[in-house]
């Protein structure tokens, strides 16, 4: 019989999009206040793989992906998603969000995103929040699944999360490990 063990800490990421840089900058500062310093900020990424959000946000959306220096307990993802939802409400106008914040984490084996939407490939966490393994790390690179969002499945996004994984691996080498985990 296997013995339960505490999981390894993971690298918090937040993918954010909005109609302009000002809202993203404000969101960035709020997130830093919540979870600490960034150790990576992506360049401005176009948001052109779907029209799903146009009715709520309009067109011309831009995205940034941030990774945070402090590692987190993966068991806190539901609470983090609930907090990012509260932050989204802060900037909402007329019942419409103006910024979207999608938290997740990078581990050595995968990229996980938190969501409020249930689906056949998502696992319930807590408080109405689900988790999705969006990318898996195999043969030296992140690889998408059939359900992976089209933008996350691109080579550029996979490479970006690979860079975040390298930073995470360096942090793990610096910290003493109590046990090993296959994740």
Per-residue pLDDT 10s for the chain (183 aa) are 999 999 999 999 999 999 889 999 999 999 999 999 999 999 999 787 788 888 888 888 999 999 999 999 999 999 999 999 999 999 999 989 999 999 999 999 999 999 999 999 999 999 999 999 999 999 999 999 999 999 999 999 999 999 999 999 999 999 765 544 455
* In the block, residue with structure tokens 């802060």: 90
Answer whether residue 2 is part of any domain.
Answer: no
Which pLDDT score is estimated for 10?
98
Domain that holds residue 119: 10-174
Is residue 59 a part of any domain in this protein?
A: yes
Instruction: Specify if 181 maps to a domain.
Output: no
Stretch (H or E) spanning 56 = helix 54-57
8 Å CB contact between 66 and 40? yes
- The answer to whether the beta carbons of residues 101 and 83 sit under 8 Å apart is no
Q: Please indicate, yes or no, if residue 47 is contained in any of the structural domains.
A: yes
Number of domains in the chain: 1
Residue 180 falls inside a structural domain: no
**Mean residue pLDDT across the chain:** 93
In a domain, 3, yes or no: no
pLDDT value at residue 44:
93
Q: What is the pLDDT of residue 80?
A: 98
In a domain, 182, yes or no: no
pLDDT at position 155 = 96
What local confidence, expressed as pLDDT, does residue 176 receive? 62
Residue 29 maps to a domain:
yes
Nearest Cα neighbor of 103 from 123, 127, 76, 137 is 76
Beta-sheet strands, E only, within 42-171: 45-46, 62-72, 99-106, 110-115, 123-126, 129-138, 141-144
């Amino acid at each position: 019989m296997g013995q339960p063990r505490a999981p390894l800490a993971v690298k918090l990421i937040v993918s954010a999009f909005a109609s302009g840089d000002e809202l993203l900058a404000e969101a960035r500062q709020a997130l830093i206040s919540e979870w600490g310093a960034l150790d990576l900020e992506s360049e401005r990424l176009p948001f052109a793989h779907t029209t799903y959000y146009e009715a709520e946000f309009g067109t011309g959306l831009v995205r940034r992906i941030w990774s945070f220096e402090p590692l987190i307990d993966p068991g806190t993802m539901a609470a983090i998603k609930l907090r990012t939802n509260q932050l989204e409400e802060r900037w909402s106008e007329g019942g419409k969000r103006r910024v979207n914040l999608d938290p997740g984490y990078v581990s050595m084996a995968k990229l996980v995103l938190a969501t409020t939407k249930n689906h056949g490939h998502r696992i319930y966490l807590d408080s109405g929040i689900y988790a999705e393994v969006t990318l898996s790390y195999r043969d030296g690179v992140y690889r998408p699944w059939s359900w992976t969002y089209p933008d996350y499945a691109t080579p550029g996004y996979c490479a970006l999360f690979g860079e975040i994984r390298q930073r995470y691996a360096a942090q793990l080498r610096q910290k003493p490990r109590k046990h090993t985990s296959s994740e």
